[in-house]
Amino acid sequence: MNGLLLAGWIALCAGDATTTHVILQSGHGREVIWTQNPWVDDGIVAAQAAGGVWLSRRLNKLGHPRMAKAILVSLMVVRGVAVVNNLHVIQSARELHRNGS
């Protein structure tokens, strides 16, 4: 189960990085994305992904598997919300472009 959670965590981080790249390429990310450099954003997301994996493995090693799962699920929820927000920004940008604004 923990391996599946780790895979989900990494997949959500990849989804966040991908949708962030789409936003930055469209030019509508100034008000949403703190860093306007996609390489910096990739570094931040990669560090967060690695930190989540490290924390989960460390807590399992220390004998706290339930805490590791709870923290990993919490991190996945936050990252999932970021992906949904990015998708919403992409959709809004497409609608603005379609309407000519």
What pLDDT does residue 101 have?
58
Q: pLDDT (tens digit, 0 to 9) for every residue of the chain, 101 residues total?
A: 578 888 999 999 999 888 888 888 877 666 666 667 778 888 888 999 999 999 999 999 999 999 999 999 999 999 999 899 888 888 888 888 788 75
CA within 13 Å, CB half, 99: 7
Sign of the four-CA dihedral 35, 39, 44, 46: positive
Closest to 32 in 3D by CA, of 97, 78, 85, 94: 85
Whole-model pTM: value is 0.80
- Domain residue ranges of the chain, discontinuous segments joined by +: 2-99
